[in-house]
Amino acid sequence: MGQLLYVDYSNLHIEGGHLAAVSKGYALNIHEASSRNVFDHHWLCDFGRLFDVLSQGLEVKRAVLFGSTREGQSSRWELAAQNGFEVIAHERDVYNREKMVDIDLALTVLEDALTTYQDGDIITLVTGDRDFVPLINRLMKRQIPVRVMFWAHASRSLREHPGVFFSALNPFLKTLCSRSVGQTFSVA
């Protein structure tokens, strides 16, 4: 049994920064941190640790990290590639907004479900975005097992989706931080 991993990195990074802010007392709760855009700028994901947490001892057939890029960010993606991820990064638009990432992730998963997936494999999505529910429904219709791993405050549609195994990354907040030395985290 192997797994195919697909990471919505922007979603993981932004929500991890909000969660880290709450853990340090910068916001009272995750709702406040998200609505007021309170972010711990010291929280930066360690790609090697992320790969280890996501793989959970299973053979990883493919690990793809999706994100957006702007000038000067290529070294970040090089770190991800050095730690086992294939990186697909799309240029941000002229207003510095992320474009094409979610649709490319969904299409890549569907393509891999048809070409790479084998019986006994599992598809792992790292996203908190309910926009991926139609993708999950299509995979499950083909009887392809899906696991969603994200922070506990992922959309209710993902957390409570019937047949989807949801695993919260919250216990790994400190572990996943590449700058955790000297920082205090307390995650409920």
Tokens representing 14 are 């932004």
Regarding predicted confidence, which is higher, 1 or 148?
148
Distance in angstroms (rounded) separating the CA atoms of residues 173 and 156: 20
Is residue 56 in a domain? yes
Residues 68-89 pLDDT 10s: 887 656 678 899 999 999 999 8
Total residues belonging to the chain? 188
Domain with 78, as residue range(s), is: 2-11+43-176
| Average predicted confidence (pLDDT) for the chain | 90
Q: What does the buried/exposed string (b/e) look like for 135-152 if buried means 16 or more CB atoms within 10 Å of the residue's CB?
A: bbeebbeeebbbbbbbbb
Helix (H) or strand (E) holding 155: none
Domain-located, residue 33: no
Q: Choose the weakest-confidence range: 28-37, 62-71, 152-161.
A: 62-71
Question: Looking at residue 69, which CATH number applies to its domain?
Answer: 3.40.50.1010
pLDDT band at 112 (very low <50, low <70, confident <90, very high): very high
Residue 73 CA to its chain's centroid (Å): 18
- Residue 112 is classified by DSSP as H
Query: Residue 185: pLDDT band by 50, 70, 90 thresholds?
Result: very low
Burial of 187 (0-12, 13-18, 19+ CB in 10 A): middle
Is residue 26 one of the residues assigned to a domain? no
Tally the domains of the chain.
1
Predicted local distance difference test score (pLDDT) of residue 53: 95
pTM, entire model: 0.91
Domain assignment of residue 28, yes or no: no
Q: Is residue 114 part of a domain?
A: yes
Q: Is 182 exposed, middle or buried (0-12, 13-18, 19+ CB in 10 A)?
A: exposed
DSSP 3-state of 94: coil
The answer as to whether 36 is a domain residue is: no
- pLDDT reported for residue 90: 87
| Domain-embedded: residue 132 | yes
Residue 71 belongs to a domain: yes
Q: What pLDDT sits at residue 181? A: 38
95: confidence class by pLDDT, cuts 50, 70, 90: confident
pLDDT at 72: 59
